[in-house]
Structure 1
Amino acid sequence: MSAFLSVLLDGVASGMLLFVLAVGLSVTLGLMNVVNLAHGAFGMVGGYVCVVLLNQAGIPFLPAVAAAALAAAALGWVLERTLYVRIYRSDHLEQVLFSIGLVFVLGAVVDWFMGARQQLIQLPGWLSGRVEFAGVGLGRYRIFLILLCGAVVAALHFGLVRTRFGARLRAAVDDGVVARGMGLPVPRIFTLTFTLGSGLAGLGGALGVEVLGLDPTFPLKYMVYFLIVVAVGGTNTVIGPFLAALLLGVVDVLGKYYVPEVGAFVIYTAMVVLLLLRPQGLLRKAA
């Protein structure tokens, strides 16, 4: 039982991390109607910024993670203003081709400067090792991930549902023409939203170096996972993708631990079952 609870905690932490990485794609796809398959590239950038700051600059872990999120957000702002803004009204095929091309470009740049090897980091002492609770060994870093990502979930839900910015964003998405007529700065709202999503991807990439690994193929390796979260959770809420990421993270880790021979396919089986049961998303009501 203690081993099961330990594995379950790893699954919850993995699901939380997957949500932080994927929620930006859910926001841009569901709220902005932009198919941004390069979303994982912002996570890769955040991970590499964290690695460089930790291993080469000697910056402590938490400031390095914060800087990684800010760097990914800044890159997202630049690319949104210069490139993405030009494809907002393009069809989805053009958006897919553009974003996939961007993935290969950023991957090649990272490979040129950092090489193709896996990147490693050294966690600080207060996040290393395990703690015993009721006879169960719990990884300190997994507990940290759960607490931090839980705070991100709460902040995002509150920000999109209860704040003036969230109301403006929903109005801009529902009818941009009317929103502009009412004086809402729709382009600025979209820019801030895209920047936020990129920053969250960078945060997830920095936090995930220890758990997921990091190399120039990171965006392609985990692209399917992000799409699964969005497909299963739906794109109309934050809670839907969160529940989907949590469920899929637990199923994936349990499958790889208990049935390693087919563990890599368990998450796809879970996706198919969930989509058959809830094709409209976990929380979206059927028409």
Structure 2
Amino acid sequence: MTKKLNILIITFFLTSIFIHAYNLYSENLNKNINMGNLVYFMLLEGRGFKNPDFNSDQLPGVKLEFGEAIKYIKKERYEKLTWYKCITGNGEFYLPETFVDEKRFSDYQLDLNGNIVIGTAEIDRVYSIPLDYMPTDLVSLNNKIKAKGYEWRKMRLRAEAKTMFERMIQDAEVSGLNISIISSFRDSKYQSMLYTRAINRHGINENSVAKPGHSEHQLGTACDLTSDEVGYALSKGFEKSLAYEWLTKNSWRYGIFLTYPRLKQRITGYTYEPWHYRYWGKDHWNKIFSKYRIMLK
């Protein structure tokens, strides 16, 4: 009798421990779902899908806008894409990874004005900066360094970056070469417009335009460059120009580097862009120069 009683006591004790552990697990799981597990909508606007399939119906009651934070319950793989099962007050629905971002933030430093210290943020397909980030020291570019035909476009860079790009362009001019800027700072809303348009044109596997928050243009230290040799266009033919040859030999002297080199898509995550250059800052360019040389080999 005593032996049976001991067994019952032990069984009750172990069961209590199991129930307590399970409750803690469930509590933490629900906490993770409620407090974390967020994705952010990257398109200008859109709707959720009934099932993880582009052929599935889109739910009319689920209207999403750019930057909206959405809770998700789980991830599913379907036809080589990750789909997020999401939940809002309007019910459950699915969104493909192309439409959303989990926002893993880059490890960067901020100055006293809340600006990202130049050269400290490494942005790629995985790591990003906040959607609402806006440098406070943006200054307008002179028409003289804008690409011909784009003088009307409002272009801005952070003051230090503007000085270095201007100096580089002026030095190239002394060498008899024309280099000008066709695009500079972009906020995340404008980037969303470009990203949405690229998906509409090229499909869900589009990899030439960064998601909002993942574009170096939002830093205010990156530019798209062009020249008269390619008709002031964004063209891969730019790599055959004398201007590009000069940049390859000299841009590092100004702390400016090509971000997306040829045949390095597996490293950068983006297609080759011979026109996209970023200023890394006088305090960091030596480190980046070493990395840049290795990447080009």
TM-score, L = length of structure 1 = 0.26
Structure with greater strand percent? 2
TM-score, L = length of structure 2 = 0.25
